[in-house]
Homo-oligomer: A and B are copies of this chain.
Amino acid sequence: MTTRTAAQQREQARIAYDAYLATCPTRQLLDRIGDKWVGLVLTALADGPQRYSGLSRTIAGVSEKMLTQTLRTLERDGLVSRSVTLSVPVRVDYALTPLGRSLLPVMQAIKDWAETHIDEVTAARAAYDERESGERQEHLP
């Protein structure tokens, strides 16, 4: 057995982890719903189909680039459907697919935990920051 440095072993492990990342279902889902705009798009479509321009207005602040990119990814994953009506000007509607709709309860569970426990988290942060600033005082000359 050849000797390897700690760095080489970590590097080896990192490669294995990258492969794991690419296949782990949970990781893939987390990458999707953790995305900056995905949650808002899913929520906006939960009430029914919307046109591109409608989404752009509903989700104020999103750039055309990011809205398009987000919709493309969701469409590719089968969570959102895109239907084009050939007219002048063209009309494009986006809607949740059944698969996309099945994700809503999960999003709701996340939302519920967040709204139920956010106060505890905020309090914990405040306490932590308080402790930290206190300890910095002690270490002064």
Contact = CB atoms under 8 A, between A and B. Distances in A.
Tell me the interface secondary structure of chain A in the complex.
Answer: helix
A25 B115 contact: yes
A17 B63 CA distance: 12
Contact of A13 (B29, B60, B105, B113): B60
Interface in A83-141: 99, 102-103, 105-106, 109-111, 113-115, 117-118, 120-121, 123-125, 127-129
A114 B76 contact: no
A76 B106 CA distance: 26
A83 to B, nearest CB: 14
A110 B75 contact: no
Nearest to A37: B17
Copies in the complex: 2
Please classify how large the interface on chain A is, using the bins under 10, 10 to 19, 20 to 34, 35 or more: 35 or more
A34 B26 contact: no
Given A18-B61, A26-B114, 16 more contacts: A15-B61, A17-B62, A25-B115, A25-B118, A26-B115, A27-B39, A29-B113, A29-B114, A29-B118, A30-B33, A30-B39, A76-B125, A77-B121, A103-B117, A105-B109, A106-B110
